[in-house]
Chain A
Amino acid sequence: MSDDRTRRQVLKSAVAAGGAAGLAACLDTQGGETVDRPTGTDDLSALPERQFAWGEVVRHDEHGNEQLPRHQILLYLTLERDGRPTETDRTQVERAFASLNRAFEWSHEGVVWSVAYSPSYFDRYDEPLPESVDCPPPQSLSPFEQPTFDEQDLLVHLASDHAAAVLAAEETLRGNRDSANGVTFDASLDGVATVATETDRRTGFVGTGMPAERQSGLDGIPDGEPVPETSPLFMGFKAGFAQNQATENRVAIESGPFAGGTTKHVARLRQRLDDWYDEHDFDERVAEMFSPKHAERGWVDDSGENLGDGSRVEETLDDIRERATEAGRVGHAQKAARANRDADGNIRLLRRHFESTDNDVASLHFPSLQREMSEFETVRRAMNGVDFTEETPVIRQRVNNGILEYIFVTNRGNWLVPPLSKRALPRPR
């Protein structure tokens, strides 16, 4: 095996495996003892107040589409203490987070990250979240799903183009190591917040070729390696076109104590792509992912690189109903797009999803940022397409109805991402 191939083989599983062994495997492949990434800053004022301000510091493709960091980890943490956190807890947590900022440059070359808090975390306090924050507990968002609700206290989301960087950040934050990237941490989260169960550590990746590299033998992907090399996602198409994404301004909370924050919904979906690849041809997949019109007019080549910075779903909305009845199917992206613009025509959701092979099952982690959680719920309900099932019996609850047949929502969680200045165990006011 070539060095490059060996390296890729190791990286395929190292982040999912995690721990000291995962990190050591990554470091071995780069032939060093340290992570060797650019270090960060101890001047928090040099960092954006918006923890989700990743757009400026990640890669973009030639069309200006945001390219999310290739390796990502979600840590669902539970506070050790019942009731309200203490000032001591708060200080320890802030020192740990500030250490992470010192250890890694705020970019895809270092680590971009955020911490968010659940409505059940805020239930520890007597007073409720202010009116300016719309972040209720998670709920079921389709007539057929029965997800597990993620109601842990904190969600730390780490992302980097370098597997060793996210792993070292995680290990040090959790107190399993003293330093990361050559920088000694002043504190860790250990003793205050922990990953309580194995399923509270979730990992993933996104980027052209990464799903194809990981598809062989993966549960949910049929034999024959159908996922194209050109695709950043298991379903074979690009997503997150710039013109179809909200700006960071649009998703920011504008007033109140959490101004500069946002709400974050994170779903986990299991993907079952046997029939997607084995029973559908390319045009049928295009019709179900984008719209029947995309398929008829040949708008999508390969993984959709030719679409540039926009998915063209807006061009399918005027006659969506007639087309759906004629074609006997309706597209996923077009259904959701019906509800994804506000009265001023601005896109409401900033979707930052990535793939996963956790437990050797093809899955998708679906974080979506929006100013108000109800905006996410509205778009998701539009995606259910119940109105089309009433229009024609050909479109059914989950059949011929976008991609609903192939995705199974297993988890949903709602989170408030506070501004950086309130990121350590915030009070609701």
Chain B
Amino acid sequence: MNRRTLLQAGGTLGAAALAGCSGLVTTEPAGNPPVIDDRPSAVYFPTHVEGMELIDIGTSGDYQFGLFYSYPHRFWNVGGAETTRTGIDPDDDIHLMASVWDGETGQVLPETGASLTVRRDGDLVFNEVIYPMLSQRMGTHYGANAGLAGDGSYEVTVSVGGMATRRTGGFEGRFGEPASTTITFDYARSAREELPRRLTPDRAGERAAVEPMEMEAVPIGVAPDRDVLPGVRGSGTSGDAEFLVGTLDAPPAGIDGSGTYLYVSPRTPSNQMTLPAMGIDATTGSFDGELTRTLDPELGYHYGAVVDSGDAVTITPTVPPQTARHEGYETAFLTFDPLEVTL
């Protein structure tokens, strides 16, 4: 698709550097340092930072797709509250990433489900359901390590499914259908080796995060600013995540019921990345139940319900974000204490 259109589409998103990798210097592309032993049970600065390259952007149906690649990564799958490390396989050439967003609002879509099909000269090279992942630089995206068949031109098809997540307001009736787009990827190992990569021994393990990427026309999974969210009542911290809590006098269009709408918008510290695919219970007034995962143009991805509001709400995260984690996030957002916010 035409990049000018994209720029307009994603115009709210502070465009900066051109081709992707901001502020990283090339050093040695040697092996990865080991994962540090004394990681905090919280967000921490990783042992190394790698640049990524935007391969191209595609569009189909309600969706815009960004396809990126980087060096193969180690990452951690999450199932319930357990993490399982996925190492780099000797056959892996790259880490392939897809970002999916709404072209109209720039809203990153965290729960579409995604798969990649990589072909070379029509032959299948790679085809997998890829997992939602959370990284410090991108927030929610979908990714996997992939082995390729050497240097050459590949056709990469990114496919998403229709969302089951509740959509409200201007998102009602959208993102319900599957879509796919095919992007050409001219891969050369030598080009991959030129991607920036920086070892960060001085900061590794520090309770901080790498700066989010800034890429022209590509939105990242940042939660809405506290300042722009309506009816914010307060916030609290649990499991190293920040939970912003707000109420509206009436629920967003598309939700049955009337009365106070309680929403919770959890995000990472520092980078304010949305934490999707959680289970969150709330107790307030006579309401005691689970909040519904919801995507709304104004509130972003959040957890909400119509409640009979009391003076305070107790928020109890029951299931941690079911997204794989890039290094620096794999020990955070796994176990939570309940938190209380005054309404």
Q: Which residues of A does B touch, CB under 8 Å? A: 140, 142-146, 219-220, 270, 272, 274-275, 328, 361, 386, 389-390, 392-394, 396-400, 404-405, 408
Contact = CB atoms under 8 A, between A and B. Distances in A.
A389 B179 CA distance: 20
A392 B124 CA distance: 33
Contacts of A219: 124
B164 A389 contact: yes
B333 interface: no
B277 A328 contact: no
A386 B161 CA distance: 12
Contact of A398 (B80, B124, B161): B161
B127 A270 contact: yes
18 contacts: A143-B162, A143-B177, A144-B113, A144-B115, A144-B178, A146-B179, A220-B127, A272-B128, A392-B279, A393-B278, A393-B293, A396-B132, A396-B277, A397-B113, A398-B129, A399-B129, A400-B79, A408-B115
Contacts of A143: 113, 161-164, 176-178
**Which 9 A-B pairs have CB atoms at the shortest separation, nearest pair first?**
A144-B161, A397-B113, A143-B162, A393-B277, A393-B322, A405-B129, A328-B80, A143-B161, A398-B129
B125 to A, nearest CB: 9
Interface string B104-138: 00000001110101000000100111011000000
Nearest to A270: B127
Nearest to B177: A143
> Which of B162, B164, B178, B321 lies at the interface centre, i.e. has the most chain A CB atoms within 10 A of its CB?
B164
A394 B80 contact: yes
Contacts of A142: 161
B283 interface: no
Interface in B150-173: 159-164
Contacts of A328: 79-80
A140 B178 contact: yes
A398 B159 contact: no
Contacts of B180: 146
A335 to B, nearest CB: 15
B319 interface: yes
A398 B162 CA distance: 12
B113 A396 contact: yes
Nearest to B86: A279
A219 B132 CA distance: 25
B319 A393 contact: yes
Given A390-B164, A393-B293, A145 B322 contact: no
Contacts, number: 72
Contacts of B279: 392-393
A408 B132 CA distance: 18
B127 A408 contact: yes
A389 B111 CA distance: 10
B164 A397 contact: yes
Given A144-B178, A220-B127, A274-B128, 8 more contacts: A146-B178, A272-B127, A393-B322, A394-B322, A396-B277, A397-B112, A397-B161, A398-B113
A146 B127 contact: no
A386 B128 contact: no
A146 B164 contact: no
Interface string B167-197: 0000000001111100000000000000000
Contacts of B322: 393-394, 396
B164 A144 contact: no
B159 A144 contact: yes
A275 B176 CA distance: 28
A275 B117 CA distance: 15
> Which of B113, B159, B160, B278 lies at the interface centre, i.e. has the most chain A CB atoms within 10 A of its CB?
B113
A219 B161 CA distance: 24
Nearest to B125: A219
Contact of A392 (B113, B117, B176, B319): B319
Contacts of A274: 128
A274 B125 CA distance: 13
Nearest to A397: B113
> Which of A146, A274, A404 lies at the interface centre, i.e. has the most chain B CB atoms within 10 A of its CB?
A146
Nearest to B60: A146
A280 B259 CA distance: 46
Contacts of A397: 111-113, 161, 164
Contacts of A398: 113, 115, 129, 161
Nearest to A400: B79
> Which of A143, A145, A274, A400 lies at the interface centre, i.e. has the most chain B CB atoms within 10 A of its CB?
A143
A144 B319 contact: no
Nearest to A395: B322
Interface string B32-44: 0000000000000
A390 B80 CA distance: 15
B128 A275 contact: yes
A400 B132 CA distance: 13
B302 to A, nearest CB: 14
A400 B78 CA distance: 11
B175 to A, nearest CB: 10
Contacts of B160: 144
Contacts of B161: 142-144, 397-398
A85 B60 CA distance: 40
A394 B279 CA distance: 9
B59 to A, nearest CB: 15
A361 B125 CA distance: 11
A429 to B, nearest CB: 36
B117 to A, nearest CB: 8
A219 B147 CA distance: 13
> Which of A275, A397, A399, A404 lies at the interface centre, i.e. has the most chain B CB atoms within 10 A of its CB?
A397
Contacts of A145: 178
A252 to B, nearest CB: 34
Contacts of A272: 127-128
A400 B129 CA distance: 12
A53 to B, nearest CB: 38
A361 B124 contact: yes
B80 A144 contact: no
> Which of B79, B127, B131, B160 lies at the interface centre, i.e. has the most chain A CB atoms within 10 A of its CB?
B127
Contacts of B321: 393
A330 to B, nearest CB: 13
Contacts of B129: 398-399, 404-405
